[in-house]
Structure 1
Amino acid sequence: MKKFGLVLVTVFMTVALLAACGGGNGGNNGGNAVNNGGNAANGGSNAGAENAGGSAGAAEGESTEGGDISGTITFLTNRTDMIDKEYVDYAKRFKEKYPNAEVKFEAVTDLDKTTKIRIASGEFPDVVLIPTLPNSDLPKYFAPLDDLGLNDRIYFKDYKSFEGKVYGISAGGSTTGIVYNKKAFADAGITAIPKTLDEFYAAAEKLKAKGIVPLASNFKDQWTLYPWASELPSSIAGNANLNNERVNSDTPYTLDNPYGQAMTIIRTMYEKGYLEPDVNSTNWEQSKKDIASGKFAMYLLGNWVIPQVIESGTTSDNVGFFPMPYDNSGKVNVALAPDWGYGVNKDSKNLATAKAFVKWMVEESGFDDFAGFIPVLKDKEAKVAQLSEFNSFSPTYIEAVSDSAETTEVVNKAQIVKEALVQEFVLAKDPQAILDKYNKQWAKAKKAVLK
């Protein structure tokens, strides 16, 4: 693990212990993936096609951002649930700091696809969450953010950077694991958290016997399957660069490699009846209520979902979080990933205001707490109490890396949607045939791109 990762994990451990003592619950709703899928495609937490610390004053903002903070800007977001609610307060507070400026919010459910289309058209909002583009393309569309005075204060600085310039700043960080209802576990007679895959299946069997759906997959919504296609394979491999290493092979998907191993687990869960009774009619919003009530027991998702479950009808102390055991070794790696990154349209008519908004979102909005994120600011403590339990299992954190330009180009050429691969693999009579299909697409695209 890199030194950065070790330092960050140390911070998480300290933060989690402090949070446990303080009893914080991490806010209300949250997460990169709300309604349309998180940020796991590029090694982080984006579904879809692969491809509040110290605050600077207005005077500093105006000088570092190179212009007057005035005019109206628009922020394109995936948080449809915050429109006419929390975003109203955000707009009010931003205007209180910058009286001559105004921010409007536009929310979409298919963020990655929609943002790409808008960018390709040449017309896109002032501030967006950067979609799955190669980092080499970032200067074509986005303004550098190095003048915000944040570079030395944040994690994941290089995640959305190119040639030494920062073009995107993550909204927060997350790790992936099993979010579970403690009462459901107790009702099923589960007295110890599973530390091996066999123990995990055994716990699922107990839940099923009690009439509790063991794992909410939200299979139909597709985007929720991202951990099985990215985070979990990287964890199994102990290699954050797994996605990029696919360019070295014409057959990156095999039954016995980390991709096949991860997808075989959810296929097994499906075959044993441990997922929803009808995976083709699942509902994301309802599932949060069902996890909260104990009708469903578990999610495999990031810590960002914890506040959403709590807000859906339970208490913080009824929600737990532990690493997903993917084998029987008793040891586990977990992915550590940045969320969507804020980016500023380089052609914004109010560039200084757009940059000031990004800085305000990171430093003052409180969105990271609200969303249940691990803060991107190095000197800010996380508010997600469940991280204390998670870290008590001593997982090894695997720090995410960006997909390379070559990997992104091959994925786009092959038109591979990793969550669709999971769906097909789980439902297929012959899963090997599905892998053969995707390997064929991959090899053809690779040959065309990497000449």
Structure 2
Amino acid sequence: MFPQKRRTRLMAFAAAGSLLALTAACSSGSGDSDDQANDDGTPSGEITVLTWRTDLVEDGTFDTYVEEFKAKYPEVTDVKVEGLTDYEGEVKTRMNTENYGDVLAIPGSVTPDQLGDFFEPLGTQEEIGAEYQWINDKSFEGQSYGIPVVGNVQGFVYNKRVWEEAGITEFPDTPEAFLEALQAIKDNGVEIAPLYTNYKDGWPLSQWDGWLGAVSADPDWKNKIVESDTPWTEDSDYGVVDGLIYDAVAQGLTEADPTTTNWEESKRLLGTGEVATMVLGSWAIPQMAAAAEAAGASGDDIAYAPTPVKVDGKFHSVAGGDYNLGINVNSQNKATARAWIDWFNHESGFSESQAGLSPIIDGPVPAALTSFVEEVELITLNPAPEGKEALFADIDTASGIVTTDPKFRQKNIDDARSGARTKQQIFDDLNAQWAEGRASVS
């Protein structure tokens, strides 16, 4: 690309993400690497892989992946894996340089029209879509830049024992029933947080976005709100999600002090029953079960439920890709980077180990989700129409809401705790900002 265009994109990216000052990256596996693949494209040399799964780095799982990958490709000298705790924040900062690994999960803050500035095209949507599903989110103008590592269904993870002890034996099927279930848990006479927000870490609040589309059972919900000035209403997808968060906090159904939450500790709390519920994708099931076992509780207490809304008498859950792996456009070893992505999806066993759906078309459904998919109708969100791939992100950024940034939900939680704004006032303010963003973009 032209250097001037690259610089413009970097500046825009920094402004949109409120990045820190430029810092030197510690990755040695990208732009400045001398290791190259063989002339015939055979993977060789070394690459650096950035991952958000610090737990799998620490417990040696990634060491096993690397050994197996190198066994298949003996000319690969090394795969350096860096686990980043604040993945989104650290990667956004490193993307101000050219050194952000060779393979990495594409941050949620990268807008569709920025994909080509930071990531190598992997093939056309038609080519990649013949093998993999859920690729539309990281595609632009017919090119795919990312491939998901696992497919998730969306709903909430909960401690089944705690729910049953509170007398709840059926999935709540309305937002009101969900709040009633949380209240029943609170009234059961034990010190339990019915719902844990993970406010302090921030990123878990974005997991509530997994309910968007399931509330209305509409795979086009996102394509419709770009044509609306009022996405936040009592019965809209955003209104139900953000209204439910507000009500749960305002009614005292969440942790006592959200400013002191801790993601890693929350896994143990759910496993031992000190927390009853967290809104997370199905990827969380094995992590919570493992934390329960490590704490001396039963992993069988961890269960999964759909978005608490029925449409036409059915529960719905959005099925989609988790993080998408992409290749740094500045990588000096793109052949090996691509080999890692394909090997990871086909041969590592990652999706099965994470109780997730395979990103490969017609891949297996894990045992942990078999009964779930029998009771719930899965929907996949439709891509934006051609030429409008970046419209949602453009409006979102122009509005100043930036729904990919957990700060907007943290503010709503603050207001629910303090009473500074009512739920309707929050909706009115968000709609006004959204309308201004739409007008600006149009």
Deviations 1:279-309 (CA, angstroms, capped at 9, x unpaired):
2221111111111111212222111000001
Counterpart of 1:206?
184
CA distance in 2, matches of 1:193, 1:206: 14
CA contact (8 A) 1:323 1:393 kept: no
Counterpart of 1:447?
439
393 and 195 in structure 1: CA distance in 2 versus 1, 3 angstrom threshold:
farther
Deviations 1:187-214 (CA, angstroms, capped at 9, x unpaired):
2233333334444333222211222322
CA contact (8 A) 2:172 2:181 kept: yes
How many residues are treated as equivalent by the alignment? 388
CA contact (8 A) 1:239 1:398 kept: no
Deviations 1:99-128 (CA, angstroms, capped at 9, x unpaired):
221211122233334333333433321111
Q: How much does 1:169 deviate?
A: 0.7
Counterpart of 2:333?
350
How do residues 208-357 of structure 1 correspond to structure 2 at under 5 angstroms?
208-210=186-188, 211=190, 212-228=192-208, 230-314=209-293, 315-326=298-309, 330-357=313-340
CA contact (8 A) 1:76 1:106 kept: yes
RCO higher in structure (CA 8 A, sep ≥6): 1
CA distance in 1, matches of 2:306, 2:17: 26
Counterpart of 2:56?
82
CA contact (8 A) 1:333 1:398 kept: no
Corresponding position: 1:115 with 2:94: no
Q: How much does 1:396 deviate?
A: 4.7
CA contact (8 A) 1:322 1:389 kept: no
Q: Which residue of the other structure, out of 389, 397, 407, is the alignment partner of 2:392?
A: 407
Counterpart of 1:8?
none
Gaps of 5+ in 2: 1-15, 19-36
How do residues 352-431 of structure 1 correspond to structure 2 at under 5 angstroms?
352-383=335-366, 385-399=367-381, 401=383, 404-418=389-403, 419-428=406-415, 429=419, 430=421, 431=423
Deviations 1:11-42 (CA, angstroms, capped at 9, x unpaired):
xxxxxxxxxxxxxxxxxxxxxxxxxxxxxxxx
User: Which deviates further from its counterpart, 289-298 or 250-259?
Assistant: 250-259
214 and 202 in structure 1: CA distance in 2 versus 1, 3 angstrom threshold:
same
278 and 353 in structure 1: CA distance in 2 versus 1, 3 angstrom threshold:
same
The TM-score normalised by the length of structure 2 is 0.79
CA contact (8 A) 2:319 2:378 kept: no
CA contact (8 A) 2:149 2:345 kept: yes
CA contact (8 A) 1:215 1:275 kept: yes
CA distance in 1, matches of 2:252, 2:310: 20
User: Which deviates further from its counterpart, 96-105 or 137-146?
Assistant: 137-146
66 and 345 in structure 1: CA distance in 2 versus 1, 3 angstrom threshold:
farther
Q: Which residue of the other structure, out of 110, 114, 130, is the alignment partner of 1:137?
A: 114
Q: How much does 1:262 deviate?
A: 1.9
Q: How much does 1:353 deviate?
A: 0.9
Report the AA paired with residue 73 of structure 2.
Answer: Y
Deviations 1:63-99 (CA, angstroms, capped at 9, x unpaired):
9x95131111111111122224212222222211212
CA distance in 2, matches of 1:129, 1:329: 37
CA contact (8 A) 1:174 1:374 kept: yes
Q: How much does 1:176 deviate?
A: 1.1
CA contact (8 A) 1:225 1:422 kept: yes
Q: Which residue of the other structure, out of 143, 161, 165, is the alignment partner of 1:165?
A: 143
Gaps of 5+ in 1: 1-47, 51-61
Secondary structure class of the residue paired with 1:307: helix
CA contact (8 A) 1:196 1:330 kept: no
CA contact (8 A) 2:158 2:277 kept: yes
Deviations 1:350-393 (CA, angstroms, capped at 9, x unpaired):
1111111111111112222233321112243232x332332343
The TM-score normalised by the length of structure 1 is 0.77
159 and 268 in structure 1: CA distance in 2 versus 1, 3 angstrom threshold:
closer
Q: How much does 1:134 deviate?
A: 3.2
Report the AA paired with residue 388 of structure 1.
Answer: T
439 and 202 in structure 1: CA distance in 2 versus 1, 3 angstrom threshold:
closer
CA contact (8 A) 1:215 1:297 kept: yes
Q: How much does 1:321 deviate?
A: 1.4
CA contact (8 A) 1:244 1:404 kept: no
Report the AA paired with residue 423 of structure 1.
Answer: Q
Secondary structure class of the residue paired with 1:301: coil
Q: How much does 1:325 deviate?
A: 1.5
Counterpart of 2:130?
152
CA distance in 2, matches of 1:393, 1:72: 45
Counterpart of 1:438?
430
Q: Which residue of the other structure, out of 146, 164, 175, is the alignment partner of 1:186?
A: 164
CA distance in 2, matches of 1:193, 1:68: 51
CA contact (8 A) 2:135 2:321 kept: no
CA distance in 1, matches of 2:179, 2:231: 27
114 and 241 in structure 1: CA distance in 2 versus 1, 3 angstrom threshold:
farther
CA contact (8 A) 2:139 2:146 kept: yes
Deviations 1:316-339 (CA, angstroms, capped at 9, x unpaired):
432221212136975332212211
CA distance in 2, matches of 1:253, 1:198: 18
